[in-house]
Structure formats: C-alpha cells, structure tokens
Structure 1
C-alpha cells in the first residue's frame, strides 16, 4: 500500500454520513510498490490533480456517481487569507471550484470521505469479516478494479491466465501486443501489503455489501469515458483501475481516476505514464528491481506482510535529465488530455521524443 498523495480530513465520516476532506498531491513518485522514491518530479502533483479533476467532471456529466467535490483554488484561497477572511481550509469556507475556474494548476482536490476500518491480519491472512463488521454500509471497498484494453508483452495477465480464459481465439499468448475488442476486467486487493489478483468469488466476498457485477459495470463505464477522451488527444488508453466507496446502497467512484499514475497511455507507441519511469528503472537499476522481486517472493514464502524489510537493495536517484524529461511528459500529457495549456511545457510530440531518446 503506497501513495504519493497526502490526505487531509476536515470532517470525519460516521456510520450514516459522509465526511469531507482533500487529497493534497505531491511531486513524489512510487514504482514497484516501493513508496516514496529518492527524487521528486516537478509539477507532477498538479498534473495528476488536474487530470483527475477533469475526469471526475466528465464522469459526473455522464451520470456516474463519485466522491469528487471540486479543486481548491490556491490563488483564491491565498487571497482570502491575506484579506483576513475565514480560514480557506475550513470545509465550509474553502474556495472549491471546478477545474475550469481554477486560476492555477491545482494541487488539492476536495472530496467526500467514507469510513476506512482497520483490516486486521496475521501474516498474509487478512480478516475481511472484521473489516466489514466495522464498516457497516458506509465504507471504502477494499478492492481495486482493473480494466485492460490491450495485453502487452510482460503483462502479468499472460502469466496468470490463458487466452481461452478471456474468450480469445489463441492457443497461447502471441509475442506481440494483443488489442482487445472488449476490455478485460479483473479484481485485486487494495489494503494488503502486496497486491494479489482475485477470483470473482473471492472478490465478491471481499466487496461486502457492494455487488461485484455493479463494480464491473462502473469500471467499464469509466474505461469508456477515459478511452474516448484520450483518443481526442491522440492518446491510446491501454489500461487502468478504479477504487470505489459504498454509501447508502450506492457505489461511487473514489480515489483518483484516469491519470498517468493510475492508468497507462501511449502516444504513437511511446508510453505516456508512470510506466516510462518503471521501464527506465528496469534498464538502469536492474539489481534493485530484482531485489524487490526477490523480497516479495521471500515474504510470500515466509507468510509475512512486510516484504520491504527483506529487500537488500535501495533505489538510486535519477539523473537530472530524466527528472526533467519526466516533468515535461506529465505536464505536456496533461495539457493535451484536458485540452488546455495549464503548464508551460513542450508539445506532447516533443516531450515524447525527449523520453524516447533516453
């Protein structure tokens, strides 16, 4: 469980009511479940916040319920503070606006909050019954719903399943990328120390009161909206995931949707997502990547949750040129996706060319 967002609670949720709070997006990044890496990528937080807000507003236009309330306008909040008005961070007075009304690229997203009970465990044995006993009918569903529009080389799907499992007419996975006519939807754990994919039956048990068929329908609708928007920016949406909350009998899309961290996009065949940084680490720091894989395997064999304490290597900082290229890729990609020059950045074509040369 890793995150590069900070979380601020303004009003706690209760068993019967939603709370209020905000995500504060940082410039940190994480790969391979490591957590905070040695570097920061400038403007990354604002890029993810902007894309996430844009997608939530698209989903709401399509009638998809979400926990999104708007973005916090930093310029306006600062102006209010200087003028001696009420605390701009107070949930009743903060200047929460739509993305179009934000005067600068935002780094804070206002959201409604649901309950997140503790998930007790002994080793790798997690007690979901205890989670749901505490959750009632107002909780963050402890699943990630993954959707795939293609199956690239190296995808875990190739190791875990056969083409026949998905109704595909191949005896075995072909060498190249498989483009799917219909998305493949899977479920994985959210709060376990190492994510694992689940059978539909197990996902249904872990989801509690939420219905997995409805979760799948929501994921397919999110995938459609993001895929269509990406195509308008000449981006190909390869795969992604959603997280959802359950409140008052309704499934609502939560966390953040359709960003370069949660989803994979390509532009004329080049990755425009966090995957670029992952692949760069595989090429330049293979010893660390292999040590991470070995630590995860050892943790599974020993039935312990904390795999990171077993890792004998640590990642090294990126070269300055790589950090700069990553920044331009996030910023240029966001400009293209939202259809607005929110950042001073090269064209997406130039940013992609810069990455391709690394």
Structure 2
C-alpha cells in the first residue's frame, strides 16, 4: 500500500509486457512526506479516483498515452477485464467513468515493473544503475515531472528561485523576494524531482536525464507540458485556476505513458475564486496548529544527511496530531464539492463549492 492508495495486481508485469492491476483509493492522507496520517478524510478516496479517471479520459481523447483502463463500478455493473459481461470473472467489472453508477474508488491500470532502488550509503547514494538493470525497457520512470503555472504561497519554488529568474523583477520586494500573494508565471515552468528516494530532491536536467534511464528527458518534459495544457483547460472550463502539478510516467515498448494519477486535489494545486482547493489547505493547517511536529520533520530530514540510513522518519521524535473533527468535515466537503464542479456531475451530496470553501476558511 502507498500512503493513500492500495495496490492490487491482477496480472503481473514482466520484462517483456505490461500487466494489469488496480489502484484502490482510500480516505487516508499524507503531508510533508510523512506517510499515512492518524485520521482519515471521508469522500477523499472517491474524489481522487473520480477526478483522476475524468482527467485520464480527457488525456486519451487528446491522443496522450496513459496507463488508465477504466474504473470499477461500485455496484458491479459493466464488463469484467477477462471479457465476461456481468463482472463475475476473475477481475472486477471495469467501465468508463460516465457509466459508473456511484463515485468509484477503484481504477484499473496497466502495470509496469517497479524495481528496488538500493541505497548504498551517504557517499555512494542511490544505485540507479541497479534499478535500470532490473527494469530493462519496461519500468516506472523514477522521476516526478513537475509543472508550474503559478507560484502560490507554500510553493517550494519560492525557496529555490527568485522572481528575477523568471523575468518577474517588477513584482519582487526590496530584497528581490517573492510577494506574499500568488504570482502567475509568464510561461509554465517544468522541473524534475526524484520519486523513490526517501526525500524528494530537485534535479538538474543532466541528473534527471541520467536517472530517467532509456526514457528521454525531453520527451518527459513535452509530455508534462501536454498534460498541463489539458488539465489547465479543464480547470478553466469549470471555474478553477490550475496552479501547479506533476506527472509520473511508465516506459514500455519504447513509449512513455502517463502513470499514477493525474490532476487531482492531491497531485495538483487549484484555486477557486481566489481560495485554494487542494491538499495544501491541510499542510497549512499543520503549519499553523502543529508547528512542533512540522519543525521536527524538517530537522529530521536535515539530520539524515551523511548517515548510513536514508529514512529520516527514524530520527523524528514527534508525531502529528489528528485533525479536529470540524477540520476533517470541512476538508471532506471541499474534496467532494470540488470534484462535483470539476467533473460537471453531482457525484456527492454535499454543499456547493462556495459553501465548502467558506467552511474551510472558518477552520
């Protein structure tokens, strides 16, 4: 299980062929790379599955290759993956999203190989040669490709670059710093970061090219820009601003395909009427209300440098507090109401998004 999704294998991938499997989206959540947090957010898993499927189907309409196969209808209607009509075969019934009779929590996907990434200690680092030797020409690319249309409050780009790096000198403060409000970028920015290392690490293009293996870094960037364009257009049509996001990719048969899940309130940051609609609202809650844990996480991540272990959580002496019930409810409704608006279908019986965001503001 990942921190928020369970992973089911129906047919394993091999060195020569992709397999078949499913993501099962849970209501768990993770912030600051902690892993599963102490409570759950109702509707969250179904919201992410529904938004992800909606975006994958729009990407496929645009000719963008993905690993998506459909969703599992919660009521069992549709055609099973083994070809039977009633879903009574070895694999559950899979349908396009618009044929689902309720918000789905399972997504059918193509599988690729995910080799181990050995950690060889602070001097040698991670052994990507071993990863690619095991993956051959059929593997999940060990990178996250990040795209940014805006620099919102909380964006890591504020720590790593100055407004002048993007020709935004006019909006910079006296010392060249970012202003307190979100800033639109003149052109989307694409960056690369690690995926399987214990701490996400932003990379130079040369580093990303080496870590990508047989996959071409230019093709990865082009694919990310195409995905960003589609998600941005879908967001605008629904009244959202698409601020930033990421993709992950598999490489199989000499082709890149978009993998994992795309364009959800966990993977991407959106705003609606000037207010954030994403997991960022939970991050900001912890920064404001559980700063001791947030500081302990930051210190543990720094302390692991130069050690033989790479899991910083072993060094973290504090654990996160659960969210108050009122915050859980407000965030739950935000996910569900946002999904309704984004997809143009009333999947969830919740207040409208304006009411939902007002409730988040009050928490």
Question: TM-score of the superposition, structure 2-length normalised?
Answer: 0.93
Match of 1:192 among 193, 197, 222: 197
| Contact 1:237 1:264 (C-alpha < 8 Å) held by counterparts | yes
Please list the CA deviations of residues 147-203 of structure 1 after superposition, one character each: whole Å capped at 9, or x if unmatched. 011112443212222344445446734314221121110000000001100000000
User: For residues 108 and 61 of structure 2, what CA distance do their matches in structure 1 show?
Assistant: 18
Gaps of 5+ in 2: none
Task: Name 1:174's counterpart in structure 2.
Answer: 178
Gaps of 5+ in 1: none
User: For residues 258 and 270 of structure 1, what CA distance do their matches in structure 2 show?
Assistant: 17
Q: Given the alignment of the two structures, is residue 257 of structure 1 paired with residue 262 of structure 2, yes or no?
A: yes
| Contact 1:150 1:238 (C-alpha < 8 Å) held by counterparts | yes
Please list the CA deviations of residues 69-94 of structure 1 after superposition, one character each: whole Å capped at 9, or x if unmatched. 000112026999xxxx9874724xx3
Give the 5 Å matches for 1:291-330.
291-302=296-307, 304-330=309-335
| 3-state SS of paired residue (2:108) | strand
Task: Name 2:11's counterpart in structure 1.
Answer: 11
Task: Name 2:30's counterpart in structure 1.
Answer: 30
Task: Name 1:99's counterpart in structure 2.
Answer: 97
What count of residue pairs does the alignment treat as equivalent? Answer: 353
| Contact 1:2 1:34 (C-alpha < 8 Å) held by counterparts | no
User: For residues 168 and 215 of structure 2, what CA distance do their matches in structure 1 show?
Assistant: 29
User: For residues 201 and 112 of structure 2, what CA distance do their matches in structure 1 show?
Assistant: 24
Task: Name 2:282's counterpart in structure 1.
Answer: 277
User: For residues 132 and 343 of structure 1, what CA distance do their matches in structure 2 show?
Assistant: 43
Shift of 1:304: 3.1
Assess, with a 3 A threshold, how the Cα gap between structure 1 residues 165 and 13 changes in structure 2: closer, same or farther.
same
| Contact 1:2 1:30 (C-alpha < 8 Å) held by counterparts | no
Question: TM-score of the superposition, structure 1-length normalised?
Answer: 0.94
Shift of 1:95: 1.2
Give the 5 Å matches for 1:7-156.
7-76=7-76, 88=88, 90-91=90-91, 94-124=92-122, 125-156=125-156
Query: Which consecutive segments of 4 or more residues in structure 1 shift more than 6 A?
Result: none
Q: Given the alignment of the two structures, is residue 334 of structure 1 paired with residue 339 of structure 2, yes or no?
A: yes
| Contact 1:146 1:241 (C-alpha < 8 Å) held by counterparts | yes
Provide the aligned C-alpha RMSD in A: 2.1
Shift of 1:300: 1.8
| Contact 2:4 2:29 (C-alpha < 8 Å) held by counterparts | yes
User: For residues 169 and 336 of structure 2, what CA distance do their matches in structure 1 show?
Assistant: 40
Please list the CA deviations of residues 257-284 of structure 1 after superposition, one character each: whole Å capped at 9, or x if unmatched. 0000000011112111100011011111
Task: Name 1:157's counterpart in structure 2.
Answer: 157
Shift of 1:15: 1.0
User: For residues 36 and 174 of structure 1, what CA distance do their matches in structure 2 show?
Assistant: 32
| Contact 2:78 2:86 (C-alpha < 8 Å) held by counterparts | no
